[in-house]
Amino acid sequence: MIRSDIIRGHIDSIILRLISEKDMYGYEISKEISARTNNRFQVKEATLYAVFQRLEKKELIESYYGDFSKGGKRKYYKITTLGKAYLKEVFVEWQETKEIIDLFMEGL
């Protein structure tokens, strides 16, 4: 089992990455995270919406309402130009972090 606290520190980046692929709504993002990790990692709805608020406040994402669907209008999230730049920075940082951890953990 993956220790979720390790991944939790990267949840902003994970959500930005997904939204950079296409505009998405909260439940869709939650399902996509579960699907891509074969249910090894799940994000609670409350966590997701806290992340959306934080990312919107930093102007890394924007939200808008889509067309009506079953149950009403869905709120979609899209990445901003600033969000794309931030995601590139985070990617470089992650590559460096991964390389350093691999130096110590590979071959165990």
Task: Give residue-wise pLDDT tens across range 16-26.
Answer: 999 999 999 99
Task: Give residue-wise pLDDT tens across range 21-49.
Answer: 999 999 999 999 999 999 988 888 889 99
pLDDT of residue 15: 96
Q: What is the mean pLDDT of the chain?
A: 90
- Classify the phi-psi angles of 30: left when phi > 0, otherwise alpha if psi is within -120 to 50, otherwise beta: alpha
Q: pTM value? A: 0.85
d(CA 62, CA 44): 21
> Residue 85 is encoded by which pair of tokens?
């730049």
d(CA 106, CA 5): 21
Q: How much is the average pLDDT of 75-104?
A: 95
Domain boundaries, the chain: 4-105
User: For 4-105, which CATH class?
Assistant: mainly alpha
Q: What is the identity of the amino acid at 81? A: T
The count of C-alpha atoms lying within 13 angstroms of the C-alpha of 71, restricted to the half-sphere facing its C-beta, is 3
